[in-house]
Amino acid sequence: MPMPGMTRDDQAIAELGALAHPTRLAAFRQLVRAGPSGLAAGEAARLLNVPHNTLSGHLAELAQAGLVESRRDGRSVVYSADLDGLARLVGFLVDDCCGGRPEACGESHPLLARIGELTRHERNSIAMNRIYNVLVLCTGNSARSIMAEAILNKLGQGRFRAFSAGSQPKGEIHPQARALLSQLGYDVSWLRSKSWDEFAKPGSPSMDFVFTVCDDAAGEACPIWPGSPMTAHWGIPDPAFAKGSPTEVRTVFAETYRLLHNRISVFVALPFEALDKVALQSKLREIGGLEGATTRSKAFTTEAPAAE
């Protein structure tokens, strides 16, 4: 299982790094051979012809990475390989095989079947307890994506952490979007229009999902997002195109809010722990096709200021 505060990517890097040393790799292989009973540190050092103190340091690194377990037996410390930890590591590496269902790869191979089963249980546990990071994209990041960010942070109830950004951010929130959210009781003090480049930098939050809500952003070449998130297009018309009286414009923004709220309500209610990647991706696409879905040709009017 990933260590607290670490993503599964980070955990895999730590595990592979721990094995990327001749002595640690040899020690781990020796512990695998020894089976569940394990080996005392001194005996393992003798078999590998490595000084006891040196090997103890290497075993500690393997244990920290989650690949080795230790127990005290009298005056000795006995180490054994955590085979489930190894299976999860291999499962992580093959997690995208067979359409995101590695357990299916193992129907004729017991080891792969075990790997698939372990990783499926791990995904279920993580899905039930983790906080999902979600990035909502639009071109200008001033109305639709801003509203989606606010809605998801509210409906997510701490289980989802939403962000928004634009490929060509306006640098300010559309006044009507700000007014509507305020009227509905949202805290808008922290909302801002920003570039999607912020979320492609090293050290940026690792995203689990990235959604585009305008057709232009969906068609642009996006940065490489840390974490290899799942993506979907949830296009709806741009309320910034709305024309007419102030009341008519407010009505358009309210309709945009309703369409976004409907999509996000369905999203947060998904049984993430019960869905494999293929099924989840299908659900995300279905959400994008709900009432109000756009194509590039659809908008409220063809006469408008620059799009959001």
Tell me if residue 98 is catalytic: no
Tell me if residue 214 is catalytic: yes
Q: Pull the structure tokens for residue 247.
A: 């009341």
3-state secondary structure of 39: strand
Report the largest interatomic distance among the alpha carbons of the chain, rounded to a whole angstrom. Answer: 86
Give the Cα separation of 248 and 172 in Å (integer). Answer: 22
Q: Taking a C-beta distance cutoff of 8 angstroms, is the pair 294, 215 a contact?
A: yes
CB atoms within 10 A of CB 36: 8
Main-chain phi, psi angles of 270, to 5 degrees: -65, 145
Q: 135, 140, 149, 99: which is closest to 225 by C-alpha?
A: 135
Which of the following is catalytic: 97, 98, 105, 222? Answer: 222
Tell me if residue 138 is catalytic: yes
Torsion of the alpha carbons at 292, 293, 298 and 302, rounded to the nearest 10: 50
Contacts of 109 (CB under 8 A, 6+ apart): none
Q: 231, 197, 242, 236: which is closest to 216 by C-alpha?
A: 236
What is the amino acid identity at position 156?
A: G
Q: 284, 278, 225: which is closest to 95 by C-alpha?
A: 278
Strands 39-40 and 76-81: antiparallel
Active-site residue list: 138, 214, 222
